[in-house]
Chain A
Amino acid sequence: MTGDTAIRTVAVAGGGIAGLSAAIAFARSLPGTAVTLLQTSAEPGSLVDVVPTTWPGVSRFHAAIGLDEAELVRSGIATHHLGTIFDNWSLSGRSWVHAFGPYGKPAGGIPFDQIWYRAERQGDVLPYDRYSLGAGLARHAKFVHPARESDSLGSRFQYGLRLDPVRYHERLNEHAARCGVTFAPGELAGVETSSDGIEAAVLSDGSRIEADLFLDCTGPRARLLSSVDESFEDWSQWMPFDRLMVEAQESSDFPSTGDHVRVTNDSWSVEWPLRTHKVRAMLSVGGEGLPITRGRRLRPWMHNVLAVGDAATALDPLHGMNLDVAQQAILLALELLPGREFHPVETQEYNRRAEQLTRRVRDFIALHYLRSGRSAGVWSTLSQREPPGSLARTLDQYEYRGRLPFHEEESVTRDSWTATLLGIGIVPVHVDPQAAAVPLQKAVQRMRELAREIEEVVAKLPTYSDYLRRMGN
């Protein structure tokens, strides 16, 4: 929207990573719009500021805000993240890898997973993740930049980044200043509202900040949005772990390209290796640790207030999708930015699409808990919980015929779903009738060759430490 009703002033509340990301993106995309960042400190339960790991979408966001990814790696702020190794989160207790990018290769127009199911019935397969180069590299702490030629094996994986929260935050601060963001230090003392939303945010020193649009990046309590709308969808029944303990640890190992997840009877933990140290997080049900929120605001955009990050969608750290969800919300807000009148049709369209973006993230994380394959301790009753409707459909279709129903704005790829479903130990009962058209012997032969090729490539490639050394640090 522009002309007479263009948004000319934006106030971003929240000095954490979500707030900085939003302020930078808005300042760069909207010429002639003044962006002020209210540097309130991050709530401890704001996991965007805690969880360092991200998905491949992070590159797109960094490109959009003009952050040089190679430089982030060179300066040690970022390391590459190829996937997550689940040591024992499965029915069989076997380890499996969730890697970014495609598994296997389709044949005769039939997706690879369908061919794998057929071959599996003959006992003629390796575990699913052996057909992913990214998984092989993650397991062996190796790395190479994906190739550009779209058909080569070397192009068939993707990476996210791990971002050292403290140093990334510093870098975003510098970048925000360069992008013309105005900083307003101080803590949020209050909010002045009217029937049309927020009139002003009041800081602890008494100063009033007025703006056309307020971005609420204050963390799970959503201190701005909750002053105009409190509706919240609780996800805790599907993400039952509600306490988080995080500690930084010295690391003597070389940095790895895979995150490690381990399960015990009453907790799960993850290790995120950074350049100089590693961060370990443990989640439990009750007990010690920081209470965390899981759920989403039903109307993240209400009048002139838009919640972003934990203020809009609060996830637990499994798979580390926290920052990605925040970044997607920022890009979506820019794509759908309304005029200053904030007509309900415009904000509803944002809320509709934001809901689609987060629903499947919720389903994907919930899948791990509700179908963990584990039966001891706190896990014992989780499989009896009713899944969200859209996940129930996915489970029904997958378990019966290996099909993944289409969802608008599906933010988790088919490969991620399949790798995870198979990883935790769900194999479809039937093979899709279409897949039976592929001659099996030939397909099995090709699968063997692919697995061998992946093994050879992984063996040949340098360790991640060597890669980093060659990058010049």
Chain B
Amino acid sequence: MQQRPKTRVVILGGGTAGWMTAAALVNQLGHACDVRLIESEEIGIVGVGEATLPHIRYFVEGLGIDEAEFMDVTHATYKVGIAFHDFGSIGTHYLHPFGNFGAPLNVVPFHHYWLRLRHTGRGGGIWDTSICNVMAERCKFEPQPPGSPLYSYAYQFDATLFAPYLRNYSIARGAQRTEGKVVDVDVDGQSGDVIALNLESGERIDGDLFVDCSGFRALLIGQKLNEEWEDWSRWLPCDRAVAMPCRPREAALEPYTRAHAMTAGWRWRIPLQHRVGNGYVYSSAHISDEDAALALLGAVEGEPMAEPRLLKFRAGRRKRSWSRNVVSIGLASGFLEPLESTSIYLVQGAIAQLIEMFPIGHVREADVAEFNRATDLEYDRIRDFLILHYHATTRDDSSFWNHVRTMDVPDSLNDKMELWRRSARVAKYSQGLFFEPSWVSVYLGQGIFPDGWDQRADIAPGGDLEAAVDRLRAQVSNRVAAMPDHRAFLERRAGPR
């Protein structure tokens, strides 16, 4: 094979997205590219992505990083789901579990059998058929034995420690770090490609491929290339967040992230080993910054560990996340509020696509189209799932909830909801982040009960079915009873090292 000169990759921005990209590139394509990352200490990072989804494990594992060490460095805790409080109506709560409800029987998903029992007034609750839910309720944790697909887990970690950790990893494997602020971008007059970044220091950095991880500023993809932004605020009106960590006060360490619905948005609670992350995501059209900060202060459980920090954003995505020789990853590419902990997942997905479509010598338009097609699909499907959390509500206690309850939603979501209402089916996609159990939990957790179910579930005699579901509950309960407390498991795991 002919030796091709290495592709010079220049990453702009040293936040979570930037260093994740650098780490993955040096690890998987170190033989094919030189990686240089430009960051400035003066420009802070957003770094609120503390809550993750199970996919992050494959990223960490793919880098060959030891899980225990990684969790230790980032003060991470385990996470088996996301608890939603007061979304469907005030006083209700449910867990979006990283695992199934029951198990399918004769290829029919479990929830159809449960709905059938429920119809006859039996069946009990569905939540205690989810092992994640029972683990969450009892603050227990243990990873599933290998090969058992029952449930998965993610991490809650300190994102401001994650990026530096990956920085060390990347530099040790050949990435170059340049401190500095970009003051000017050179563009080739003919092709329109970016050819170099000029720093405040006077240094000029040439490259073949530029990865824009500059956050909301979107220095390359937005400011330089003017790639259009598709705005989704008509469906996702939250445009600000105020964040503030506090000391933990509760004795038990919850293996899950909480989302509490608030008057004009929702509030996250992310328990780490040493602190609790808190933040109020809200719509500035429905509450002032001062009132939002006050509401957050009033809600956090322990002594604040920092001043409240304000973040501004808007929901949507770039119409083309990759344009010419500039790939945007992270907030420069798009933003979806962290209601379902998707921020880091979106970064990870974009990195995987970049590696799959990595230019061979030069950037090719057909490859760029492939990348953008995949990226758009990710965003669009997550978007519908997020909107569901707001729209599926009976809340009428504030102008915000009145708005989201009554707003028009995308047709694609209307159809999904109608399909569920009629026959308890979840539109199936093999690519996309949230699968059937995720949708089932939000539908049922927010009070949307279907009229029907899969007719094939009628095959089992009712009495037998009820007994089988009871047995399943007992199994789940016994299994969790044998698990250690979340905190105990963390300490034991950290101990022997």
Whether the Cβ atoms of B358 and A434 lie closer than 8 Å is yes
Whether the Cβ atoms of A349 and B1 lie closer than 8 Å is no
Roughly how many angstroms separate A343 CA and B451 CA in the complex, as a whole number?
Answer: 13
Contact for B452 among A5, A397, A409, A430, CB less than 8 A: A5
Contact for B31 among A430, A431, A436, CB less than 8 A: A436
- Residues of the A chain whose Cβ atoms lie less than 8 Å from the Cβ of B427: 349
Q: Mark A314-345, 1 if CB is under 8 A from B, else 0.
A: 00000000000000000000111111000101
Does any Cβ of B come within 8 Å of A225's Cβ?
no
Whether the Cβ atoms of B422 and A339 lie closer than 8 Å is yes
- Residues of the B chain whose Cβ atoms lie less than 8 Å from the Cβ of A434: 28-29, 355-356, 358
Whether the Cβ atoms of A2 and B455 lie closer than 8 Å is yes
Whether the Cβ atoms of A401 and B360 lie closer than 8 Å is yes
- Residues of the A chain whose Cβ atoms lie less than 8 Å from the Cβ of B29: 433-434, 437
Does any Cβ of A come within 8 Å of B67's Cβ?
no
Whether the Cβ atoms of B1 and A118 lie closer than 8 Å is yes
Whether the Cβ atoms of A345 and B419 lie closer than 8 Å is yes
Among the 9-residue stretches A26-34, A43-51, A94-102, A131-139, the one with 4 or more Cβ atoms under 8 Å from chain B is A26-34
- Closest residue of chain B to A31, judged by CB? B459
Does any Cβ of A come within 8 Å of B159's Cβ?
no
Roughly how many angstroms separate A393 CA and B369 CA in the complex, as a whole number?
Answer: 10
Whether the Cβ atoms of B364 and A400 lie closer than 8 Å is yes
Does any Cβ of B come within 8 Å of A199's Cβ?
no
Shortest C-beta distance, B327 to chain A (Å), equals 15
Does any Cβ of A come within 8 Å of B458's Cβ?
yes
Does any Cβ of B come within 8 Å of A151's Cβ?
no
Contact for B423 among A1, A121, A348, A432, CB less than 8 A: A1
Roughly how many angstroms separate A409 CA and B428 CA in the complex, as a whole number?
Answer: 10
Whether the Cβ atoms of A338 and B431 lie closer than 8 Å is no
- Closest residue of chain B to A331, judged by CB? B107
Shortest C-beta distance, B119 to chain A (Å), equals 7
Roughly how many angstroms separate A447 CA and B454 CA in the complex, as a whole number?
Answer: 48
Contact for B459 among A29, A121, A335, A345, CB less than 8 A: A29
Q: Mark A398-429, 1 if CB is under 8 A from B, else 0.
A: 00110101101100000000000000000000
Roughly how many angstroms separate A22 CA and B33 CA in the complex, as a whole number?
Answer: 55
Roughly how many angstroms separate A58 CA and B284 CA in the complex, as a whole number?
Answer: 57
From A33, A403, A433, name the one whose CB has the most chain B CB atoms within 10 angstroms.
Answer: A433
Residues of chain B from 386 to 418 with CB closer than 8 A to chain A in the complex: 415, 418
- Residues of the B chain whose Cβ atoms lie less than 8 Å from the Cβ of A122: 1
Q: A345-B415, A401-B360, A437-B28 are in contact. Are A334 and B456 (CB under 8 A)?
A: yes
Q: A1-B422, A334-B456, A434-B29 are in contact. Are A353 and B364 (CB under 8 A)?
A: no
Q: Give the number of residues in B that approach A within 8 Å (Cβ atoms).
A: 39
Whether the Cβ atoms of B419 and A346 lie closer than 8 Å is yes
- Residues of the A chain whose Cβ atoms lie less than 8 Å from the Cβ of B370: 393, 397, 405
- Residues of the A chain whose Cβ atoms lie less than 8 Å from the Cβ of B428: 353
**What is the number of contacts between chain A and chain B, taking CB atoms within 8 Å?**
106
Roughly how many angstroms separate A436 CA and B29 CA in the complex, as a whole number?
Answer: 9
Whether the Cβ atoms of A346 and B423 lie closer than 8 Å is yes
- Residues of the A chain whose Cβ atoms lie less than 8 Å from the Cβ of B452: 1-3, 5-6, 339
- Residues of the A chain whose Cβ atoms lie less than 8 Å from the Cβ of B364: 400
- Closest residue of chain A to B6, judged by CB? A433
Whether the Cβ atoms of B455 and A1 lie closer than 8 Å is yes
- Residues of the B chain whose Cβ atoms lie less than 8 Å from the Cβ of A3: 119, 451-452
Whether the Cβ atoms of A433 and B366 lie closer than 8 Å is no
Shortest C-beta distance, A16 to chain B (Å), equals 25
Q: A345-B422, A353-B428, A434-B28 are in contact. Are A397 and B366 (CB under 8 A)?
A: yes
Whether the Cβ atoms of B1 and A431 lie closer than 8 Å is yes
Does any Cβ of B come within 8 Å of A7's Cβ?
yes
From B355, B419, B457, name the one whose CB has the most chain A CB atoms within 10 angstroms.
Answer: B419
Does any Cβ of B come within 8 Å of A396's Cβ?
yes
Roughly how many angstroms separate A191 CA and B183 CA in the complex, as a whole number?
Answer: 75
- Closest residue of chain B to A409, judged by CB? B430
Shortest C-beta distance, A238 to chain B (Å), equals 21
Roughly how many angstroms separate A396 CA and B367 CA in the complex, as a whole number?
Answer: 9
Contact for B458 among A31, A118, A346, A349, CB less than 8 A: A31
- Closest residue of chain A to B115, judged by CB? A2
Whether the Cβ atoms of B422 and A337 lie closer than 8 Å is no
Roughly how many angstroms separate A214 CA and B428 CA in the complex, as a whole number?
Answer: 25
Contact for A408 among B116, B419, B429, CB less than 8 A: B429
Shortest C-beta distance, A22 to chain B (Å), equals 15
Shortest C-beta distance, B422 to chain A (Å), equals 6
Whether the Cβ atoms of B431 and A406 lie closer than 8 Å is yes
- Closest residue of chain B to A121, judged by CB? B1
Roughly how many angstroms separate A121 CA and B355 CA in the complex, as a whole number?
Answer: 23
- Residues of the B chain whose Cβ atoms lie less than 8 Å from the Cβ of A409: 430
Does any Cβ of A come within 8 Å of B425's Cβ?
yes
Whether the Cβ atoms of B454 and A2 lie closer than 8 Å is yes
Q: Mark A341-361, 1 if CB is under 8 A from B, else 0.
A: 001011011000100000000
Whether the Cβ atoms of B422 and A343 lie closer than 8 Å is yes
Whether the Cβ atoms of A338 and B422 lie closer than 8 Å is yes
Roughly how many angstroms separate A29 CA and B429 CA in the complex, as a whole number?
Answer: 24
Roughly how many angstroms separate A70 CA and B84 CA in the complex, as a whole number?
Answer: 51
Roughly how many angstroms separate A121 CA and B4 CA in the complex, as a whole number?
Answer: 15
Shortest C-beta distance, A392 to chain B (Å), equals 10
Shortest C-beta distance, A266 to chain B (Å), equals 35
Residues of chain B from 115 to 155 with CB closer than 8 A to chain A in the complex: 116, 119
Whether the Cβ atoms of B1 and A30 lie closer than 8 Å is no
- Residues of the B chain whose Cβ atoms lie less than 8 Å from the Cβ of A393: 366, 370
Does any Cβ of A come within 8 Å of B161's Cβ?
no
Does any Cβ of A come within 8 Å of B453's Cβ?
yes
- Residues of the B chain whose Cβ atoms lie less than 8 Å from the Cβ of A403: 356
Shortest C-beta distance, B169 to chain A (Å), equals 17
Contact for A348 among B355, B415, B459, CB less than 8 A: B415
Does any Cβ of A come within 8 Å of B433's Cβ?
no
- Residues of the A chain whose Cβ atoms lie less than 8 Å from the Cβ of B107: 64, 335
Roughly how many angstroms separate A31 CA and B356 CA in the complex, as a whole number?
Answer: 47
Roughly how many angstroms separate A29 CA and B458 CA in the complex, as a whole number?
Answer: 9
Q: Mark A4-34, 1 if CB is under 8 A from B, else 0.
A: 0111000000000000000000000111110
Shortest C-beta distance, A342 to chain B (Å), equals 10
Shortest C-beta distance, A409 to chain B (Å), equals 7
Whether the Cβ atoms of B418 and A343 lie closer than 8 Å is yes
- Residues of the B chain whose Cβ atoms lie less than 8 Å from the Cβ of A430: 360
Chain A interface (Cβ within 8 Å of chain B)? 1-3, 5-7, 29-33, 64, 118, 121-122, 334-339, 343, 345-346, 348-349, 353, 393, 396-397, 400-401, 403, 405-406, 408-409, 430-434, 436-437
List 19 A-B residue pairs with CB atoms under 8 Å apart, sorted by A's residue number.
A1-B422, A1-B452, A1-B453, A2-B452, A31-B458, A31-B459, A337-B454, A339-B422, A345-B418, A349-B419, A353-B428, A393-B370, A396-B366, A397-B366, A397-B367, A405-B370, A406-B374, A408-B430, A433-B358
- Sorted nearest first, the 5 A-B pairs with minimum C-beta distance are A1-B452, A1-B423, A433-B32, A345-B418, A430-B360
- Other contacts beyond A2-B454, A403-B356, A436-B31: 16, CB < 8 A: A1-B422, A1-B454, A29-B455, A118-B1, A335-B107, A338-B423, A343-B418, A345-B419, A346-B423, A349-B415, A393-B366, A397-B370, A405-B370, A408-B429, A408-B431, A431-B1
